Structure 1
Amino acid sequence: MKQLLAKISLILLTLSLFVSCNAVKRVEPDEALLTENSIFLNGEEIQENRIYNQLYQEPNSRFLGVPLQLNFYNLARPNIDSILSEKLLQNDRKREKLEAVLSRKQLDKYINSRVEFNQWIKRTGEAPVIVNEEDARKSVNRLQSWYWNNGWFNVETDYSIIPSEKKEKRAKVEYYVNTHKAYKVDSIKTDIDSPVLDSIYESHRAESEIKTNQQYRTLDFNAERDRLTQLFRNNGVYNFEQEYLNFDADTINTNHKVNTTIIINNRQVTNGDSTYRVPFKIYEISKVNVFTDYTYANRNEPVTDSAQVGNFTIYSFGDLEYKPEAITDAVFIRPGRTYSDLARTRTYSRLNSMRVFKYPNIQYNPDPADSTNTALIANIFLTPQQKYSLGFDFDISQSNIQKFGIGFGGSLLIRNIFGGAENLEIAGRGSIGSSTDAAASRDEDRFFDISEIGADVNLIFPRIFFPFETEEFIPGYMSPFTTLSLGLSTQNNIGLDKQNLSSTLNYKWNPSRKVSNRLDLINLQYVRNLNTNNYFNVYRNSYSELNDIVQSPNVVTDPSFLNTSGQLTIPTGAENFIEAVNNNENTTSGLTENQRQNVINIRERKRRLTENNLIFASNFTYLWNTKENLYDEEFSRLRFKIETAGNILSAASSLAGADKNENGNYEIMGVAFSQYVKPEIDYIKHWDLGHDNIFALRAFGGIAIPYGNANSIPFTRSFFAGGPNDNRAWQAYDLGPGGSGGRSEFNEANMKLAFNFEYRYNLFGALNSAFFVDVGNIWNVLDIVEDEASTFTSISDLDEIAIGSGFGLRYDFSFFVLRFDIGFKTYNPALPAGDRWFQNYNFNHAVYNVGINYPF
């Protein structure tokens, strides 16, 4: 290991020495490469990124101190056209040789390819940043502006270009900022001409973004301008615009205080050649007209159908295909209410979320019947999307249980199926694959020995579908939806073969832009295992462990359990041996206590993984996400979910006086239903460090506690560790539980802790890289598992938290990111206590992960 690190260090050192000599290769003799920016605030050097971001020039990016992108750019030839012309076209001898092999057209293509490749090197690399006096002066002005906008009105700035004394054609720039005393906001007065605006302002004065005795910030004044504009327009002032609002900040002889006056003039009106001002008024919506099937083609056609709902009028150019209430429930511009920008925004959002119409067009016109000129008619033009939509998908995959897989599927979306803007989605999916050698396939002569087929049906209502009214606590502007789902699937694979039936009734609503909620009132899942006799063909580690016990010198067992090679037969011999040990039968003897406990553990795991599952659960998920768009690199995301299962079935069974099985559990149709509570929390935070540098972390904690009718958690509700989106130094299902060392093929448990840290940075162009540290593990707790190495019994078991570290490359294709990560086992809790750190920390024992998009 030490030799490997020494070799890597030597290579990097040699590389840095080699490439550093070429950094100024494309820098002219009278120019200087910018090597460093320094900012001195009141004589002290500072390192704040937000201040350095004000500078117009920054040095070329570096990786481990080496300007890789600059050196890559330097590989390009500056005058490639003239060089190729001189070498190939103007040189008769070379041209004749090439034309003897290539046609003139081929020669032109060859030259163009050389030119394009040279241009690609330039685009991918980074041109040298040359110190520029003009840019330095602009940077000084920007620094001065930044400090002025943050309250230092007497700020002084300057700069100095300092050539390098050790290396030629290099220089650094130092910027000097002297702030002097900052100004604070003192008094806030108003000069508002319109009584209506003055009344609204006074009612909301306490919400002002400008606070007295705080340092002046231009951003606070901009925020106050935005707040007041929204405030007025959301309170009926339809024609208010930002340009009517101004601030007068008096700083003359005020002892570094800012006396502010908010000035709002009356509205300017032009009538013919004359211009005059009139007070602002509050507008009210008198009518709302909705056109449900408007298109540009029928804009001049007569309306043929209509409906009246209160003061709403619903129009159609053909037969009205929508229940009027389904439309009016999605419109928050209501007759009789004052005009509001917020109502219009909520209407846009709700109509879009229904997926029935294209982006709506909302227009306001003065009501000609109103003599006060304060009434508006709202016209909403809706263009329906196609009633039927088809979708198809196809993918090729590879995983740790299949070496090759093909997936395919199709979907049909039927919009407005019952006339109330309901959507029906019908989807089918299927896949075939070839298994790995992890288990013996029953069809060894078939290449495709894995298959799955399934179908899902979703019926989506744009409302809360519930016996009583929910508008009071889940109003329509929260975009509520109810979804009824039914899913069926069957698997035919190298494993146990499964049939899966699932059904859900869930509600979704968004209280705000950042918050979304989901309640699965009913989440039903039935899993039936069809081929339990194949268990020991799949879980070969368990089978090998049993054979090791059987073949121990001290163990004597029934010869009928064994084949001619002395190994347990599958499934009869293995199962009979397990039951003989469990029941202390005289056919088997000589086991040590550890061997006997291992057999009992294998028996319990087999029972859990082969039993049929009936899960009747409810869960609630709260999601808080500050990410504003796809390109937002600094955000927080918190997800909390709690699920309970089996309580209703347990209560019903108890009240009905149902009988219990031999294990003391109630059964429904011959299946002991699961009962548990499962809370989990997931937090993600990204920091944008500037210059395409991101630091990201994730923290996850979850526990599933069985009780009542169950003493374990179904496999589908358990936790696992490892894989490309978890601890990348272990493959999926390989890590844990605890310090057991991942003895099974699919290791799972009912408690999990995970922490991930990742520093992401740009190498060049669309190629990015990252260093990461992944921490976590899974354990069994408060369930039937008794294996000490797998269970969490006290805080001291936290020393079994595994640590993986590594690095990766990511290529950004704009619409998705292709990710390649290499993880090394840094701290392996499966090893003896003194040998857990940096054992097998090398490429031979590394785990290589390929994924799509970022892990978190």
Structure 2
Amino acid sequence: MQTPDLRQLISAFLLCFITWVGSLYPANIQAQDAQSEENTEDVVRRVRFSGNDDIKDRTLTTLVRTRTNREFLSIPHFTPWYSLWKLSGGRFGEEPAYLDRQTVANDIERITLFYESLGYFDVAVDTSISEYRTDKIEVSFIIQEGPQYRVNTVTYSGFPGFAEPNKRFEFLQEGAFSRGRINDTTFTVNRPYSSQALSTEQQRLITFLKDNGYASVQRDSVIALVKEDTTSSNSLDVMYRIKPGGQYKFGDIRVRLSDTEPPVNYDETDTLSGPPHTTDSTYTISLFKESGAQSKFRLLSDQLLFKPGELYNHSLYLETVNEFQNLGMLYIQRFSQNEDQVQPDFTREEIPTYFDLQTLTKHSVSTELFGMKRYGYGTGIGIDYTNNNVFGNAENLSIGANASFEFVSPSVLEEIDTTATQSSVFRSYELTADYSVPRLNFPFSFLDNRPGFTSGVTRYLLSYSRSDQLLFDINSDVGFNMRYEVNHTPNYSSFLDLIELDLVDTNPSSAYIRNLRNEFGTDTLNDGTIVDAFELQRILEDFNPQISSTIRYTFRSQNTDLIKRNRGYFSEYSVAVGGNIPYLIDNYLTTPGTLEGNLPSLFGLSDNSLSYSRYIKLSADYRKYYPISAVGVFAWRLYGGFAHPYGNSTSIPLNRRFFAGGSNDIRGWAPFQLGPGDISTDNVNIPGGEIKLAAFTEVRQTFIRDFLGANWFAALFADAGNIWYGPRNDFRDENNQDRLDRGRFRFDNFYNQIAVAGGPGLRLDWEYVVVRFDFAFRLHDLQSGWLNNKQVYFNFGIGHSF
């Protein structure tokens, strides 16, 4: 049977979809047809800009509301949803984008205001509306930009002085406007005018003043006055007029914590006064809680980042609010600086603070039923128990269990065993216990509550799992992880896995062993004993019980919505060092002074030793999301990874290697089915690699809004990449000398071993989840070459691929 190509697949999909949607609208068809025939309004088919030498068309397009119908993948004039609307007589698709002259007039005003915000005060914007075909309208915005004005000097009038001699000057000099100094409050600027820059500087001034005691400062306390500089053409002078008001201190603090059951009865109280809690005994911290809250008073007082009697600092006040929120075991009912009103009472020298909190439910159980696709199709179930605030200091204990079952077809199994005739069911199980505290514990407790570390979390994770894989099974994987997590800012985070231990017991599948023995055969010793060939023994070492330890630091930077992924960027970089804990035990405890290269089984439970490897592993992951229209996104991702054994080690643990393929990786290949190099799956003797390079691109565009509660996206994607053996991999295959070279990374050949897959996809985007369907073609199959593999590889996933 001939496999359908991409065009046939898309045509069949569209035909079925049109037929299905049309069946949803059996009524009022004649009325809609008549309405569409009577409607003769002008349709906007082109929107153009002229005269905009300094501002790009793309920027102006985002400003105006006069638009054409949606263009598929931003291809000019290619509007298939509008075409479907015409072909269906208005039953479905996208209605025409009719001309609205009032909208055009509003667009002229928007463009004018935008130019003026950038210093083009002499800009003139007009429009030309022309009918270039019957009922087809072109709207042109004609722009005369004029000169861009520049800011010559900036002066700060009324800025208060401080006890520290240079504090005011150093702060003002750090401003984005400040270049050269004229005097203590006036600076040269010499940069284009920008209303956004003026607003940013205004907010910087307000924040600085509020963090240095001037609590009553508001937006109208700092006003930017702009005047034309008569000594230079197209130049401006800016003066910030500042009225800071008086300085204030923090007053008394009151914190109240209630439980979840009414009525509220604060039956436990505590009062803190004097150092180190307050500056002196005239100030107090009053703590109230219900016994049902099952929390300690110290938990409440430890979150306070300021002391009564200290100079007012608004940033510390807001960070304290975040500290309470980050505990995770309560929510804030109210926080204020006036018990009865919204605004603080600025007639007093001290500003009191009030926090009203309520605990969350202590015990909870949740379950989930999920679908999955890895090698085949499967389902699973999970259950989680959570104990919130275990010991009264906001500790969280979560215990989870899940199991999944996956049906794998004979065609997939045949890739590693040509004699496979029956399907198989792959199983996996996992048990986890996660204990976390909302603070940094030893040895980093000294960083807790310091700027940039106030949201620290220490997490202890214990896990046990087993799973069936295509090439090998994981009989057991016991892991322990001690991790520190810190959100330094809304965009920057750090993760330190100080101790990550894994005890892994794996064994290759029977089909995998059979193929290896058929290939390598056996050796006969001098005494006549028949043993596995040396090469086979080397391969099987990968599947011996192993212990691995890792110290890993990961830095993450992002400014995107992790569900929608429709703007901004995401990046993650990590460095890991592995094997040092087993090495120290081997060299100094089990066999002092002698390096065995393995450890005895824990507690003598087995005669099998535990092998280990020392290695360093680096990875970098960068993703970028560009809005290409109001309903379209272009996304790309680059990934690179490198792992290198050192010391006496020549390989890294099996569970720490790089693998390629899968619905979240290079679509078109199943997990573990790509690489190393151009070695086919049925010839892979050493799974995984030490080097990985990958690049991904995807274009997504909405074509149906709010149908079945979701927005429907059409997608077009392309993935490329592979994995390779590293330079220290010492395996030698006497039966096939070039096998290792075909899998080893070489600068003069790796680009020929880049696998490429691409195809169309469908996304169903609900508010909190995205369901993904991808139809991948192997554009560059490393075994059959470019565009020779016509098979379609279906991928299903939850969430965007990247």
2:563 and 2:770 in contact (8 A); partners too: no
**Once the 2 structures are TM-superposed, how far is the Cα of residue 154 of structure 1 from its aligned partner?**
0.8
With normalisation by structure 1, the TM-score equals 0.77
1:365 is aligned to 2:350: no
Q: SS where residue 145 of structure 1 aligns?
A: helix
Hey, what's the Cα distance between the residues in 2 that align with 1:73 and 1:395? 37
Q: Quickly say closer, same or farther: Cα 1:629–1:23, change in 2 above 3 A.
A: farther
Q: Quickly say closer, same or farther: Cα 1:774–1:584, change in 2 above 3 A.
A: farther
Q: 2:642 aligns with which of 671, 679, 703?
A: 703
Q: Quickly say closer, same or farther: Cα 1:333–1:27, change in 2 above 3 A.
A: farther
Hey, what's the Cα distance between the residues in 1 that align with 2:166 and 2:333? 34
Hey, what's the Cα distance between the residues in 2 that align with 1:10 and 1:854? 24
Give the structure 2 partner of residue 100 of structure 1.
Answer: none
1:286 is aligned to 2:251: yes
Q: Which amino acid aligns with 1:68?
A: P
Give the structure 2 partner of residue 306 of structure 1.
Answer: 270
Q: 2:722 aligns with which of 752, 766, 777?
A: 777
1:181 is aligned to 2:147: yes
Give the structure 2 partner of residue 605 of structure 1.
Answer: 539
Q: 2:370 aligns with which of 395, 403, 406?
A: 395
Equivalence map 1:285-434=2 (5 Å): 285-293=250-258, 297-298=262-263, 301=265, 303-308=267-272, 310-311=277-278, 312-318=285-291, 321-365=294-338, 373-400=348-375, 403=377, 405-434=378-407
Give the structure 2 partner of residue 760 of structure 1.
Answer: 700
Give the structure 2 partner of residue 543 of structure 1.
Answer: 514
Q: SS where residue 580 of structure 1 aligns?
A: strand
Equivalence map 1:418-817=2 (5 Å): 418-434=391-407, 436-437=409-410, 450-466=426-442, 469-471=445-447, 477-490=453-466, 496=473, 498-529=475-506, 532=507, 535-539=508-512, 543-544=514-515, 546-547=517-518, 578-580=521-523, 601-608=535-542, 610-627=543-560, 633-656=566-589, 658=591, 665-669=597-601, 670-708=609-647, 710-743=649-682, 747-765=687-705, 766-781=711-726, 782-786=728-732, 787-817=740-770
1:57 is aligned to 2:2: no
Q: Quickly say closer, same or farther: Cα 1:771–1:795, change in 2 above 3 A.
A: same
Give the structure 1 partner of residue 235 of structure 2.
Answer: 257
1:39 and 1:46 in contact (8 A); partners too: no
Q: Quickly say closer, same or farther: Cα 1:607–1:474, change in 2 above 3 A.
A: farther
Hey, what's the Cα distance between the residues in 2 that align with 1:820 and 1:295? 43
Hey, what's the Cα distance between the residues in 1 that align with 2:167 and 2:246? 12
**Once the 2 structures are TM-superposed, how far is the Cα of residue 475 of structure 1 from its aligned partner?**
5.5
Q: Which amino acid aligns with 2:305?
A: F
Q: 2:79 aligns with which of 39, 43, 67?
A: 67
Q: SS where residue 338 of structure 2 aligns?
A: strand
Q: SS where residue 53 of structure 1 aligns?
A: helix
**Once the 2 structures are TM-superposed, how far is the Cα of residue 753 of structure 1 from its aligned partner?**
0.8
Q: SS where residue 504 of structure 1 aligns?
A: strand
Give the structure 2 partner of residue 139 of structure 1.
Answer: 107
Larger Rg, first or second structure (1 or 2): 1
**Once the 2 structures are TM-superposed, how far is the Cα of residue 172 of structure 1 from its aligned partner?**
0.5
Q: Which amino acid aligns with 1:606?
A: L
Q: Which amino acid aligns with 1:770?
A: A
Q: Percent identity?
A: 21
2:574 and 2:619 in contact (8 A); partners too: yes
Give the structure 1 partner of residue 44 of structure 2.
Answer: 34
Q: SS where residue 698 of structure 1 aligns?
A: strand
Root-mean-square deviation over aligned CA pairs: 4.0
Hey, what's the Cα distance between the residues in 2 that align with 1:432 and 1:728? 22
1:407 and 1:431 in contact (8 A); partners too: yes
Q: Which amino acid aligns with 2:487?
A: N
Deviations 1:399-451 (A, max 9, x none): 31x55x4422222222222222212222223344555445699xx9x999654
**Once the 2 structures are TM-superposed, how far is the Cα of residue 691 of structure 1 from its aligned partner?**
2.2
1:70 and 1:127 in contact (8 A); partners too: yes
Hey, what's the Cα distance between the residues in 1 that align with 2:777 and 2:405? 33
2:561 and 2:567 in contact (8 A); partners too: no
Hey, what's the Cα distance between the residues in 1 that align with 2:528 and 2:358? 80
Q: Quickly say closer, same or farther: Cα 1:630–1:338, change in 2 above 3 A.
A: farther
- Could you tell which deviates more after superposition, 68-77 or 814-823? 68-77
How many residue pairs were aligned? 728
Give the structure 1 partner of residue 735 of structure 2.
Answer: none
Q: SS where residue 237 of structure 1 aligns?
A: coil
Hey, what's the Cα distance between the residues in 2 that align with 1:320 and 1:852? 37
Hey, what's the Cα distance between the residues in 2 that align with 1:56 and 1:326? 52
Q: SS where residue 70 of structure 2 aligns?
A: coil
**Once the 2 structures are TM-superposed, how far is the Cα of residue 186 of structure 1 from its aligned partner?**
1.4
Larger proportion of strand: 2
1:526 and 1:615 in contact (8 A); partners too: yes
Larger proportion of helix: 1
Deviations 1:145-166 (A, max 9, x none): 21111111111111111211xx
Equivalence map 1:56-135=2 (5 Å): 56-63=65-72, 65-74=77-86, 118=91, 121=92, 125-135=93-103
With normalisation by structure 2, the TM-score equals 0.81
Q: Quickly say closer, same or farther: Cα 1:799–1:600, change in 2 above 3 A.
A: farther
Q: Which amino acid aligns with 2:539?
A: R
Q: SS where residue 255 of structure 2 aligns?
A: strand
Give the structure 2 partner of residue 115 of structure 1.
Answer: none
Deviations 1:465-494 (A, max 9, x none): 215752379668531121222222345899
Q: Quickly say closer, same or farther: Cα 1:496–1:126, change in 2 above 3 A.
A: closer
Deviations 1:43-91 (A, max 9, x none): x79852111222221111233644222233346667xxxxxxxxxxxxx
Q: SS where residue 331 of structure 2 aligns?
A: coil
Deviations 1:572-602 (A, max 9, x none): xxxxx74427x6998999xxxxxx9xx7555
**Once the 2 structures are TM-superposed, how far is the Cα of residue 385 of structure 1 from its aligned partner?**
1.0
Deviations 1:96-145 (A, max 9, x none): xxxxxxxxxxxxxxxxxxxxxx5xx3xxx322112233222222222222
Gaps of 5+ in 2: 16-31, 179-188, 279-284, 602-608, 706-710, 733-739
Give the structure 1 partner of residue 736 of structure 2.
Answer: none
Q: SS where residue 760 of structure 1 aligns?
A: strand
